[in-house]
Amino acid sequence: MRFTILDVAVMLGIIVPTAIITTYFLLRYRKTNTNAAYDPHWSHSNLIELIVWAIPLLTVAMLGYESYKGTYAVNPYDPRMIKTKTASAANPGSAPLNVDVITTDWQWLFVYPKQHIAVANELVIPRGTPVVFHMTSATVVNDFFIPNLAGMIDVMPGMRTKQVLVADKIGQYRGYSANFSGAGFSWMGFKTHVVSSAHFTHWIQSIQKFPRHMDYAQFNKFARPTTNIDGKTPAFSHVHARLFDQVIKGVLDGKVYTTRMPPPGAA
């Protein structure tokens, strides 16, 4: 956010005067204003050309430096990220929570590998604990995005990406895919609940009692193309701890979840 404000401020500092000067020139030197000087040959001035190159050059140098700083500051692959994030959070020093994110056509599966549970289309995380997301897709590219908590990062089939976040406030946040992935894409939202640690432990235990289990075979059924119009959030217990790796291996071996061909002009 800081970078946005800085960037906009610097750019407005240049663009607004430019717009004003241009408008002023256009109005002052209009044909009907016979008081304004007219110089039909003036087309060059070393001083002005120098200024004209210098202003954008300096602006870009400055914004470029800020961009460099900013890009390093939000790098999820930097181990110091977790430390800085934790330091700012309400609950310092807690061990990070791992969540595996797997997207299908067109659902989210959040696997908590240590807790052996998984929930589809709903994410629950404890407040003040750094959460490390490992992400992959079973089909096409999606984009993991929770506007108020985490920036966008692509979720790609057969590949791993990573995101880190610490949530400071209890509450409910909207999350969704930001990269078009097919017909069910518009319904690929998920609610993110940030809860207290006690609540989180309790929630884990309740899911662990759920009757539906999930292994790779079960996942292959789950991953069949589904448009989640009703916003269903099925949960699974006894989830295979290495499901994430199994999915990646399957994709690399050529496993696809084929989309049926819709009739022309229809869904």
Partner 1 sequence: MMVNVQGPWSPLLGRLSLGAIPDNPIIAGAFVFAAVLGAVILGYLTFGHKWGYLWREWLTTVDHKKIGVMYIIIGLVMLFRGFIDALMMRTQQVMACGPHSPGFLGAAHGYLLPYHFDQIYSAHGTIMILFAATPILVGLMNVVVPLQIGARDMAFPYLNALGLWLTAVGAALIMLSLFVGDFSHAGWVGLTPLTEIAYSPGVGVDYWMWAIQISSVGTTLGAANLIATIIKMRAPGMTWSRLPIFTWTALSTNIIALTSFPVLAVALGLLGADRYFGTHFFTAGLGGNLMLYSDLFWIWGHPEVYFVILPAFGMMSEIIPTFAEKPLFGYATMVAASFAIAGVSWSVWLHHFFTMGAGPQVNTFFSIATMVVGIPTGVKVFNWAFTVYRGRSRFDTPMLWAVGALFMLLLGGLTGMMLAMPPVNYSVHNSVFVVAHFHTMLMVVIYGIMGAVNFWFPKVFGFRLNEALGKRFFWFFTAGTIMVFIPMYTSGFMGMTRRLDYLSNPALLPFEIAEEIGIGFYVVSIYYFVRQLYVSIRDRATTRVGADAWGSARTLEWLTPSPVPFYNYAVTPRVHARDELVWRREQGLEGATVAHYEDIPMPKNTPVPLIIGAFALGLGFGLVWRIWWLTDVSLLAIIVTVIARSFVRDTDYMVKAGVVQETERRLRRNAPEGSREGEARGGIDMFRPHESNP
Contact set for partner 1, span 5-44 (CB under 8 A): 7-8, 11-12, 14-15, 18-19, 21-22, 25-26, 29-31, 34, 36-44
**Could you give the string, one character per residue 203-222, with x where binding to partner 1 holds by CB under 8 A and - elsewhere?**
--------------------
Rounded to the nearest whole angstrom, what is the least distance from the CB of residue 135 to partner 1 in the complex? 9
Restricting to residues 119-138, which ones interact with partner 1 according to CB under 8 A?
Answer: 137
Burial class (CB in 10 A: 0-12, 13-18, 19+), 162: middle
CB 197 → partner 1: shortest distance, Å? 28
In angstroms, give the least distance from the CB of 169 to partner 1: 17
Token representation of residue 52 = 């004209």
Q: Which of 84, 97, 154, 204 forms a contact with partner 1 (CB under 8 A)?
A: 154
To 10 degrees, what angle do helices 46-73 and 2-28 make? 160
The least CB distance from residue 22 to partner 1, in Å, is 5
Distance CA 133, CA 98 (A): 6
φ and ψ at residue 240, rounded to 5 degrees: -60, 125
Nearer to partner 1, 24 or 114 (CB): 24
Q: Could you give the CA distance from residue 59 to residue 39 in angstroms, rounded to a whole number?
A: 31
241 lies in the site for partner 1, by CB under 8 A: no
Q: Which of 114, 169, 171, 186 binds partner 1 (CB under 8 A)?
A: 186
**Cβ neighbours for 50, distance < 8 A, ≥ 6 positions apart:** none
Cβ neighbors of 30 (< 8 A, separation 6 or more) are 36
For partner 1, the closer CB: 58 or 241 = 58
**CB neighbour list of residue 28: distance below 8 Å, 6 or more residues apart:** 36
- Return the residues of window 247-266 that contact partner 1 according to CB under 8 A: 251-266
